[in-house]
Structure 1
Amino acid sequence: MKQNIYFEGQVLWSQLDPNMHLRHSAYADFCAQARSNMMTQVGLSLEEFAKYHIGPILFREELIYYREIGLDERIAVKVEMTKLNLKNFRFSFRHEIYKENGIKAATVYVDGAWLDLQKRKLTTIPNEWHSILDTIPKANDYSAITE
């Protein structure tokens, strides 16, 4: 299977829409789980977020569908960072969802930032996280923004 896979699983009956294929919101759920798994693996677990009262939020989510995914199919979700603003630490990720046969079924793009959970305002990340962000898988077209 491909590199940077952070979620693999089976499509459940409850994840289907009336057309008997994976409902649109389930794609986002799979990607959120893959992103969470990746963040935990690099050292940004829920406990680490809680320690600093910071959480990730999304501004934009875009799904592009290529192939249907049906009941009981197994999928894999690849996650890579495509952009990081090194001044304010806003981020972008690309997720690719693959069917068990290796065919890409969808691409999901998200843009986000960090929220101070006490002030309920956008914030930057703690200095301790800078080196952790370096370990997040980067896409071939990754760009670091410094302005």
Structure 2
Amino acid sequence: MSAVFERMYTVRWADMDPNGHMRHSAYADYAAQHRIEYLAQHGFTLQRFAQLSLGPILFREDTRFLKELHLNEVLRVTGELSGLSEDGSRWNIIHTLHKADGRPAATVAVEGAWLDLRARKLLVPPAEITALMQELPRHESYTDIVRKSS
């Protein structure tokens, strides 16, 4: 298991809603950006995924809003593994978006898998992707994902 992978972002004008705080979908955008940066930093750039003809997909996304974020506020995003299948084909990650003072502003929990971009079917990823996913810190709620055979 590796050290925490975290990124700092600044809330942009485009992230705002008419109520003067960050719009609901921007929380998911920052969580997605965090996942893509984690993969890219470890060699799985969008170009590499295109070469492999595979990509990550989501089945479910659940956001819990805890504290408001405002324009130009700095936020820190972390991601922890909350589930992984033995073959690495299914994964769950919980992202936490933190305010500058460290308080959680939101959590974004996602359930995902890997898609063969040519066949448009789910697949078991290359072993190095599974190993990379296993390196994510584990969330306190982590449970192995056990797939039932059909």
Taking structure 2 as the reference length, what is the TM-score of the superposition? 0.87
Q: Distance in 2 between matches of 1:145 and 1:65?
A: 26
Deviation, 1:126, is 1.9
* 2:10 corresponding residue in structure 1: 10
Q: 1:46 to 1:126 in 2, by over 3 A?
A: same
Residues 60-92 of structure 1: per-residue CA shift (max 9 Å, x gap):
000001111111111010111110011462110
More off after superposition, 118-127 vs 62-71? 118-127
| Superposition map of 1:1-147 within 5 A | 4-87=4-87, 89-147=89-147
Q: Give 4+ residue runs of structure 1 displaced > 6 Å after superposition.
A: none
Residues 99-147 of structure 1: per-residue CA shift (max 9 Å, x gap):
1111111011000111100111111112343333332332233222344
Residues 18-73 of structure 1: per-residue CA shift (max 9 Å, x gap):
10100011001100011111122233222331221000000100000111111111
Q: Distance in 2 between matches of 1:48 and 1:134?
A: 20
Contact between 1:87 and 1:145, CA under 8 Å: does it hold in 2?
Answer: no
Percent of aligned pairs with the same residue? 39
2:25 is paired with a residue whose SS is helix
Taking structure 1 as the reference length, what is the TM-score of the superposition? 0.89
Q: Distance in 1 between matches of 2:38 and 2:49?
A: 14
Unaligned runs of 5+ in 2: none
Contact between 2:56 and 2:112, CA under 8 Å: does it hold in 1?
Answer: yes
1:91 is paired with a residue whose SS is strand
**Amino acid in the other structure paired with 2:61:** E
Q: Distance in 2 between matches of 1:60 and 1:145?
A: 15
Unaligned runs of 5+ in 1: none
